[in-house]
């Protein structure tokens, strides 16, 4: 068994005043704001001029959907971030042979297509993506946008029934089980970008088990996350993760899914129990702009 070990960093409580922290107390999640009709109208109006000037911005999802997925916390001028942020991730996955242009890829928490458009537009030495991409999300509006903007032959999307305060989806208890409607042993790579940063233990364990069930033998998961053993650059200012809910450390008890962090030991335990044979934490090229990745193989 190859589970790499890590030395946990000490978690020092944040001290003193921070404007960022004060704002986050009032608005723990920018995502929630994007469901407000007035906020939506204003941020989408700000997109009209850039779309006129730059043709490459015209195929992007509306600004409120981009803001909902994070885009470096930029409310304006996030177009280039949306277009380029997945590049390091896919370069890593392809160069490590975790996927290629013919793979079946499952993306959990697929949002408004930031990871998918890279595959749709992939073209290297005349080879385009001829595999299958499956996106899962709880955001019905984002799924509808993706269904209209990606070809159904290669891209399909499913709506997860999990509840989330931050993503405006009411539902059953947060530990409810969601079975991904895809066949066992058919997927080469399961990815998620900044999904584990928004789910509590029940959903996390659900998705790790589902990932294992759906993967082919030799297939891998790559799940980015907030890891308390490798605290993000925002730790101590925007993030403190001061509340515990089981193994999850959260920023806000009112909106626990707004920002969630875990320890490596817990993540490895869940993956080991699901059946994964190797597990490590890897760091993307591109440095601190990327969260660490939980990389495990079946
Ligand atoms: C920070 S966004 C990242 C979106 C996308 N992965 C990206 O990087 O562009 C988190 C996404 O996870 C989705 N999400 C949150 N909880 C979820 C859950 N339990 N199951 C599926 N998707 C979830 C949200 O709706 C949102 O689209």
Q: Kindly give the distance from the C-alpha atom of residue 137 to the centroid of ligand 1, in angstroms, as a whole number.
A: 6
Residue in 111, 173, 232 to alter for ligand 1 test, most ligand atoms within 8 A of Cβ: 111
Low-confidence ranges of the chain (pLDDT < 50): 1, 4-11, 13, 173
Longest Cα–Cα distance of the chain, Å, equals: 55
Q: What is the CA radius of gyration of the chain?
A: 19
Dihedral (Cα; 79, 142, 35, 227), 10-degree rounding: -70
Cβ–Cβ under 8 Å, residues 120 and 205: no
- The CATH architecture of the domain made up of 14-27+84-297 is 3-Layer(aba) Sandwich (3.40)
pLDDT at 171: 65
Of 114, 106, 163, residue with least CA distance to 136: 106
Kindly give the number of the ligand 1 atom that is closest to the alpha carbon of 71: 9
**According to the model, what pLDDT value does residue 66 have?**
97
Instruction: Say how far apart CA 155 and CA 161 lie, in whole Å.
Output: 20
Q: Exposed e or buried b for every residue in 178-200, given b needs 16+ CB within 10 A?
A: bebebeeeebbbbbbbbbbbbbb
pLDDT tens-digit readout, 120-172: 999 999 999 999 999 999 999 999 999 999 999 999 999 998 988 888 777 65
For ligand 1, whether the C-beta of 160 sits within 6 Å is yes
The pair of structure tokens assigned to 228 is: 């308390």
Angle at 138 between CA 135 and CA 143, to 5 degrees: 50
pLDDT of residue 236: 77
Nearest-CA residue for ligand 1 atom 3 is: 69
Tokens representing 178 are 């969601």
Contact of 119 with 135, CB cutoff 8 Å: no
**CA–centroid distance, residue 298 to ligand 1 (Å):** 24
pLDDT computed for residue 235 by the predictor: 81
Extents of the domains making up the chain: 14-27+84-297
Please state, rounded to an integer, the average pLDDT across all residues of the chain.
89
Strands (E), 18-115: 104-108
pTM of the model: 0.92
pLDDT of residue 2: 52
| The two three-digit tokens of residue 172, written as one number | 């059953």
Taking the centre of ligand 1 as the mean of its atom positions, its distance from the CA of residue 119, in whole angstroms, is 18
């Amino acid at each position: 068994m190859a589970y790499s070990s890590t030395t946990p960093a000490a978690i020092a409580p944040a001290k003193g005043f921070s404007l960022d922290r004060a704002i986050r107390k009032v608005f723990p999640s920018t995502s929630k704001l994007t469901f407000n009709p007035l906020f939506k109208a204003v941020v989408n109006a700000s997109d009209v001029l850039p779309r006129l000037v730059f043709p490459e911005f015209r195929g992007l999802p509306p600004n409120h959907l981009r803001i909902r997925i994070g885009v470096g916390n930029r409310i304006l001028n996030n177009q280039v971030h949306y277009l380029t942020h997945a590049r390091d991730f896919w370069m890593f996955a392809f160069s490590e042979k975790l996927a290629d242009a013919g793979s079946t890829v499952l993306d959990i928490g697929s949002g408004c297509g930031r990871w998918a458009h890279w595959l749709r537009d992939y073209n290297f030495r005349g080879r385009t993506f001829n595999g299958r991409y499956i996106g899962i999300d709880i955001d019905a509006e984002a799924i509808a946008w993706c269904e209209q903007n990606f070809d159904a032959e290669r891209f399909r999307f499913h709506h997860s029934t999990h509840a989330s305060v931050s993503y405006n989806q009411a539902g059953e208890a947060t530990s409810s089980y969601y079975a991904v409607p895809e066949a066992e042993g058919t997927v080469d790579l399961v990815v998620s970008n900044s999904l584990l940063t928004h789910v509590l233990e029940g959903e996390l364990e659900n998705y790790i088990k589902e990932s294992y069930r759906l993967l082919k033998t030799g297939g891998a998961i790559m799940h980015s996350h907030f890891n308390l053993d490798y605290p993000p650059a925002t730790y101590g200012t925007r993030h403190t993760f001061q509340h515990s809910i089981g193994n999850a450390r959260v920023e806000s008890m009112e909106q626990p899914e707004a920002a969630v962090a875990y320890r490596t030991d817990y993540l490895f335990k869940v993956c080991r129990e699901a059946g994964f044979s190797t597990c490590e934490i890897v760091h993307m090229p591109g440095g601190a702009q990327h969260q660490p990745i939980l990389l495990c193989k079946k």
